[in-house]
């Protein structure tokens, strides 16, 4: 118990720092009204990707998908089968059963949707064990780093929840056992 509270505090502090960086990035970019050279480059790249997606719809070359099913259908057969099995569990009350399948997908191809789904699973499991919220944060961050933009919103939500947990734990007085650990 003592160690888990200490680890929770350390991990939440790490995530607090990461979240502040994300918030500052969001504020920095949301205030811009004119297009920067970097955003023009992204727009040109997206237009090129859209053209290439029209030319060859069978490849997964960064095109946008209307749904997770369309995205999954673009994957190789073995990954596609794993995804459909995992999605079947994910969309029921047996969410924990989908976790090893998504982890296998990540180990084989480091797929951002699978990383995002693992984050969602840990977020659901955090209702019972709040420490799992930190794992959820880590997987959302990896999904964002691999180009899954929806993960940013989840990172901000979880970052706020972790900050709240840190503030609450700091406002409570330390137990005698924890105080003795520091002496």
> Mean pLDDT, 10 residues at a time, over the chain (183 residues)?
50 51 50 51 54 40 61 88 91 89 94 94 91 93 93 93 86 71 65
The structural domains of the chain, with segments of one domain joined by +, span 2-54+63-182
Q: Are 9 and 169 in contact, with CB atoms under 8 Å apart?
A: yes
Q: What is the pLDDT of residue 134?
A: 92
In angstroms, what is the C-alpha Rg of the chain? Answer: 20
Q: What is the pLDDT of residue 51?
A: 44
d(CA 21, CA 119): 20
Q: Which CATH topology does 2-54+63-182 take?
A: 1.25.40
d(CA 153, CA 32): 19
Q: What is the pLDDT of residue 152?
A: 94
């Amino acid at each position: 118990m003592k160690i888990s509270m200490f680890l929770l505090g350390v991990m939440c502090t790490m995530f607090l720092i990461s979240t502040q960086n994300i918030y500052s990035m969001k504020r920095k970019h949301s205030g811009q009204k004119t297009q920067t050279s970097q955003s023009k480059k992204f727009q040109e790249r997206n237009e090129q990707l859209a053209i290439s997606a029209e030319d060859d719809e069978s490849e997964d070359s960064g095109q946008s998908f209307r749904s997770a099913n369309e995205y999954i259908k673009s994957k190789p057969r073995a990954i596609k089968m794993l995804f459909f099995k995992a999605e079947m569990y994910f969309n029921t009350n047996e969410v924990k059963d989908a976790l090893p399948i998504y982890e296998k997908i990540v180990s084989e191809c480091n797929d951002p949707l699978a990383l995002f789904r693992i984050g969602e699973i840990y977020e659901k499991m955090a209702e019972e064990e709040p420490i799992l919220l930190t794992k959820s944060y880590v997987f959302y961050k990896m999904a964002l780093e691999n180009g899954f933009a929806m993960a940013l919103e989840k990172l901000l939500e979880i970052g706020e929840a972790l900050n709240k947990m840190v503030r609450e734990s700091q406002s409570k007085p330390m137990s005698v056992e924890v105080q003795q650990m520091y002496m």
